[in-house]
Amino acid sequence: MDVKQKQKYEACFNYIGEAMAKAYESADKKRRNEINSYIKCLNNMYVYTNNLEIKLMINDTNKNSTFRRKRLQQERPFEKNGR
């Protein structure tokens, strides 16, 4: 995600979280249990998407870093020499 997409995602998530919090505060006990499970699900979604984003960022840095280029340059002579 670029910065604009991340800001939009965060804004939508915060809006949903705020609505859930208000609904939780004004609900009776049975409804609170339901809303609590929705909040847990929402939290799991947030953690999952952040983990995916972190993995993508790590993958991009591994593919595009100068360390990778240097490592590939060092591996090429080994392949030619049969090591």
Supply φ then ψ for residue 42, to 5 degrees. Answer: -60, -40
**pTM (two decimals):** 0.64
N-terminal to C-terminal alpha carbon distance within the chain? 40
**What is the pLDDT, as a whole number, of residue 76?**
66
User: Over the stretch 18-70, which tens digit does the pLDDT of each residue have?
Assistant: 999 999 999 998 999 999 999 999 999 999 999 998 998 888 777 776 666 67
